[in-house]
Structure 1
Amino acid sequence: MEVIHTSRLRLKMATKDDALFIQDLYSSEDFKRFVGDKQLHTKQDAERYIEENILTMYRNHGVCLLVVERLSDSTPIGVCGLIKRDQFDAYDIGYGFLPTCYGCGFGLESSLAIIEYTKKNPQIEELIAITTSDNIASQKLLSRLGFTYVKVESKLSDTIDLLLYRLPLINHETHP
């Protein structure tokens, strides 16, 4: 995927140089709680994850999560991009940010950029998103992006469900 710029952010392909950041982000409590524990205990684990998951997804499907950096100082603050899951026909938008960046609008800004980028691909007519029923911040972001709740995709525990959202891209206008 090409580098995507917004007024404050740069979204770029992950490289091995991003391994320590990926390890830090994916090891944060919220990331493990809402996305899952990817078992990235070392820099080598993160390098392997970048190669076997992020870059392999790009090679196989032409999409992947991108590293989100602040333009002002090139500091990596999160990931945002598209994921192609075998169980879904549509592409899935995904994102995650360091806890220190919550409430700054980076999730909205980077997700809007991904949606606009995706609209240029006429083969992608809709996006989906999944989030857990206890991730209220993610549900609010999806709503702001124009996604609508579709259904409970699966039950994760007695108290937490995996929720499926949908965003048709045909005639869609984003409203930040």
Structure 2
Amino acid sequence: MAFSLDTGRLHLREFTPEDAGFALRQLNEPSFIENIADRGVRDLEQARAYLLNGPMSGYESNGFGLWAVVEKPSGQIIGMCGLIKRPNLEHADLGYAFLPEYFGQGFAFEACTACIAAASRDFGLPQLLAIVNPDNTPSRRLLEKLGFRLQDTRVIHPGEPALCIYQRATG
């Protein structure tokens, strides 16, 4: 059975290959490329492959991954949020990205709060990390509001710039 979460305004569900249109748009948003990375996804087939090899493979190997964030009234996917287990990090990390028209409305805080609760309640994760570009002040503020504290700044992915690593207990 597929995992999902509900909040007052949002439904978080597992991605499917049919969500490739959203993924293509999200991964090519200038804010995503600037603050997260350019994943090199330029067409629907590459977007499907991103979903299959990224979020969807996480569901199989860890039971969790990035989930589609659906706004309940419209039924539209407005972003992604969830838990990612990276081989080069000690704990799972909280990840999120939203389409720009949904910035500043509390959606990221609402989705992240639900994911932090699920990390403890549903997946037994005692700690979570979050990695963020040092220049991404809005995300850094959000992480601090969510109870994360800066632990370190270091290179996570070889050849890429250093990132801020935040940590918090889930309970």
User: Would you say same fold, with TM above 0.5?
Assistant: yes
Q: 1:88 to 1:74 in 2, by over 3 A?
A: same
Q: Share of identical aligned residues, percent?
A: 29
Counterpart position of 1:174: none
1:154 Cα deviation from its structure 2 partner: 2.3
Match of 2:155, SS state, is: strand
1:116 Cα deviation from its structure 2 partner: 1.1
Match of 1:142, SS state, is: helix
Counterpart position of 1:33: 34
Match of 1:47, SS state, is: helix
Q: Which amino acid aligns with 1:29?
A: P
1:2 aligns with 2:25: no
1:155 Cα deviation from its structure 2 partner: 8.6
Match of 1:94, SS state, is: strand
**Which digits, 9 at most, give the CA deviation of each residue in 1:32-66, with x for residues without a partner?**
11111111111111011111111112211211000
How many aligned positions are there?
A: 167
Q: 1:148 to 1:40 in 2, by over 3 A?
A: same
Task: State TM-score, norm by structure 2.
Answer: 0.93
Counterpart position of 1:164: 165
1:161 Cα deviation from its structure 2 partner: 3.5
Q: Which amino acid aligns with 1:69?
A: V
1:19-168 paired onto structure 2 within 5 Å: 19-121=20-122, 123-154=124-155, 161-168=162-169
Task: State TM-score, norm by structure 1.
Answer: 0.90
Q: 1:133 to 1:13 in 2, by over 3 A?
A: same
Distance 1:140 1:168 in 2: 18
Q: Which amino acid aligns with 2:139?
A: S
**Which digits, 9 at most, give the CA deviation of each residue in 1:3-58, with x for residues without a partner?**
11100001010011110001001100010111111111111110111111111122
**Which digits, 9 at most, give the CA deviation of each residue in 1:139-174, with x for residues without a partner?**
000001000000112299xxx64100001123xxxx
Q: 1:155 to 1:16 in 2, by over 3 A?
A: closer
CA RMSD, aligned part only?
1.5
Distance 1:164 1:2 in 2: 27
Unaligned 5+ segments in structure 1 are 171-176
Whether the 8 Å CA contact 2:117–2:170 is kept in 1: the answer is no
Match of 1:22, SS state, is: helix
Match of 2:54, SS state, is: helix
Unaligned 5+ segments in structure 2 are none
